[in-house]
Chain A
């Protein structure tokens, strides 16, 4: 995108603010949807249908006294929210949310996604291990195992996208989908695998092992409080929005849709609708999931999803060869 630096700066700020507030919206959608499945009302009081509840929760936590235990590694403890929030916002700027061209882009910027994934996980690790209590140690241990599993799956499924679209630049992949069809139609298995492994990435049921409250209290979050907890929760929300947007971008053609090329306002609206649809699917799985036994995690997450991706790769290869 060859726009003036000033415009880029303004767009960066706008996109950053949108990212911040939208992440709370997605928490609300998730909470409301899961509550419906569980015969509850969910957030109710703050705003219409409790829509502001997640944001108010954030503000409330900010104002709470922060209890920092003796022996906490302050560098890790303080740095982890900064790393998480910054990297996720930076990553979001590479996604075509506002228009077809992302605010920031360069050739091969799909790799930014992996930096964001790695650093988000790193910020969790730093927060978890800043004080080594039994709960944080076991919780962080589970987090690392889970990360090593889903990272591989994401890497492989993005490799398939690269294989088909012929580019590792996000805007090129979107362009490819607009010219042809959304990638979900070519790679349905890859899409399902990516959505399912999102649950592991976001620590949602059935893969909420790193903070399974019945087993390890709050897991790696056990020692967090006050504003640090508020920011770690915010990172969780941003992570959610970022991951969902990524799926929309890579598999559902971003904000493309009828008349989107004529009326530019429609692009973010379509994008949001698609993202909300993914969020609802995730919420449904969360609602009916039973937590995986930790010992079975590789069998439930790693092996089946990886083999599904292999199947997808084989199908894709055959199809491409037939085409050539």
Chain B
């Protein structure tokens, strides 16, 4: 059985490509569509279907589809054409057992621990049940003890006297989430960085296949603690496309309101952390105290600060009264004043410039090749914002600017985030004025069955383009396949590349300039020029089953 074409309403073209000619096809498409959105794999009908999605930064998506047999699937790697592709390919290799010929990192794991038995079936295949997987996970530590832990000393290319291997994480004050980087230091200068990820895998994609559409909504919301609403919104957009449901206009406005409040809180959180990483604790304290105002608004609207659980398929779960909208308007004005004062003070502060200007520099070409998204890409001058190129929610009715900065360093990315916060404030002011009346809450929550087909959705969370792919099968209460591609993954490829040559003092700033969310996107490795990506073994102290499961 062939591929199911994407619904026409997406305005997308899917081209079926034989597996031998994938490299040529990608080479051709990359000349016009250089942004690789993701590689989606689906196991269906004894086949593994790979969907390569490309964008030309104007929202004109092109897809390439390859059908592989699920017995010993093999295809050529495209990481020679687009740098960021290797990380997507590793994900597919871990989860579906597809072998990528010519991959720079053969025989290494990205998401699964090294002790995952080589012969064991890949976890996301449909033939692998949850029970089987759990049994495997229970026994995996006895099967094979994890290889020696980091730090790796005596690396043959350096003499032991001149190089210190500094373990950076998984528990380190600069990292808010568990992630390990082994940094080879010559004095203070970084000559090499080797990360290992996979400490917080929770197998959300596999779990989502075993829940109804509505239950999966609450699951995907827990992918991330900062942009939780964007995850549930993107999932809802994909599900609504798949199931043919249209939400009311007021619901779209309320969704946009919560999403923009989330962007403000995420950006002010990050700018505060910028101060923390630069050793400027006061800036951190000031911004986080201002951000508290936004968190209280979110609590007022959705009843919760972090996992808002506000959205549902076909609308939102509660209306917001006019009085509450007035409070939003008033509080956002107060926040604007406060934020303006703080951001003007800190962004013109000479010592902070010294810590951020020309630190972690990267070019726009590198950013495109790595597949970077969001403020990271806009900091290099490319106006790529899903809200503008593929408007969703209430964005078509609202006026706002896509902020870009020239430069491509920590400072330019910070400036993008500061200005975007003001744009978000502007959007919220418009929403409060323009919001239409009506009932945003659907009569009943969606409890029905799926249609045959597939759909994807993209949104613009604070960190950049988020991509969800949903496959439905007739009569099924669950989604057949949920694929999540979060923004940190391609951005981290870029950050790792930007790290080399700088000093230890810059590591926190460079690693975090992309606003990494490792829980969102626990799957990073570093690409070292001329050597290919490097991977480090999983430390012994981490239970193997922690990092097992599906992506996310």
Contact = CB atoms under 8 A, between A and B. Distances in A.
A and B co-occur in one complex? yes
Interface of A: 34, 37-40, 134-135, 137-138, 205-206, 208-209, 212-217, 287-296
Interface centre among B167, B279, B355 (most CB of A within 10 A): B279
A32 to B, nearest CB: 14
B172 A290 contact: no
Interface stretch (B31-39, B40-48, B360-368, B502-510): B502-510
Contact of B351 (A137, A214, A290): A290
A291 B279 contact: yes
Nearest to B273: A214
Contacts, number: 81
Contacts of B355: 290-291, 293
Nearest to B503: A295
Contact of B285 (A39, A215, A290): A39
B164 interface: yes
Contact of B164 (A138, A290, A296): A138
Contact of B282 (A137, A216, A288): A288
A290 B505 contact: no
Contacts of A212: 279, 505
A34 B153 CA distance: 41
Nearest to A205: B279
B282 A287 contact: yes
13 contacts: A205-B279, A205-B280, A206-B279, A208-B279, A214-B173, A214-B279, A287-B282, A288-B282, A289-B280, A289-B351, A290-B275, A290-B351, A294-B504
B287 to A, nearest CB: 10
Nearest to A288: B282
A292 B164 CA distance: 22
Contacts of A34: 282
Contact of B503 (A135, A217, A293): A293
A134 B351 contact: no
A293 B354 contact: yes
Contact of B277 (A134, A135, A214): A214
Interface in B152-195: 164-167, 172-174, 185, 188
B269 to A, nearest CB: 16
B282 A134 contact: no
Nearest to B286: A39
B276 to A, nearest CB: 7
B352 interface: yes
Contacts of A213: 173-174
B151 interface: yes
- For B151, B282, B289, which residue has the most chain A Cβ atoms within 10 angstroms? B282
Closest 8 CB pairs between A and B? A291-B279, A290-B351, A38-B285, A214-B174, A290-B280, A213-B173, A294-B505, A214-B508
B96 to A, nearest CB: 38
Contacts of A137: 164
A206 B279 CA distance: 8
Contacts of B536: none
B488 to A, nearest CB: 19
B397 interface: no
A137 to B, nearest CB: 6
Contacts of B276: 214
A118 to B, nearest CB: 24
B466 interface: no
Contacts of B351: 206, 289-290, 292
Nearest to A38: B285
A296 B508 CA distance: 17
B333 interface: no
Contact of A134 (B164, B280, B289): B164
A138 B185 contact: yes
Contacts of B151: 134
Nearest to B279: A291
Contact of B504 (A38, A205, A215, A296): A215
A209 B352 CA distance: 16
B138 interface: no
A210 to B, nearest CB: 12
Contact of A296 (B275, B278, B280, B354): B354
A217 B172 contact: yes
A269 B282 CA distance: 32
B279 A38 contact: no
Contacts of B279: 205-206, 208, 212, 214, 289-291
A295 B354 contact: no
Contacts of B508: 214-215
Given A212-B279, A213-B173, A214-B277, A290 B354 contact: yes
A141 to B, nearest CB: 8
Given A215-B507, A216-B504, A295-B503, A37 B282 contact: yes
Interface string B125-155: 0000000000000000000000000010000
B281 interface: yes
Nearest to A213: B173
A37 B281 CA distance: 10
B515 to A, nearest CB: 16
A291 B280 contact: yes
Contacts of A205: 279-281
A231 to B, nearest CB: 23
Nearest to B282: A38
B180 to A, nearest CB: 13
Contacts of A40: 285
Contacts of A39: 285-286, 289
Given A206-B279, A290-B275, A293-B505, 16 more contacts: A38-B286, A39-B285, A39-B286, A40-B285, A134-B164, A135-B166, A138-B164, A138-B185, A214-B173, A215-B504, A215-B507, A290-B278, A290-B354, A291-B355, A291-B505, A294-B504
A216 to B, nearest CB: 7
A37 to B, nearest CB: 6
A296 B505 CA distance: 10
Nearest to B171: A217
B503 A134 contact: no
A242 to B, nearest CB: 25
Contacts of A135: 166
A294 B505 CA distance: 6
Given A135-B166, A208-B279, A293 B173 contact: no
Interface string B281-317: 1100110010000000000000000000000000000
A289 B282 CA distance: 8
A138 B503 contact: no
Contacts of A208: 279
A3 B185 CA distance: 57
Interface string B445-464: 00000000000000000000
A288 B281 CA distance: 8
Nearest to B508: A214
A280 to B, nearest CB: 15
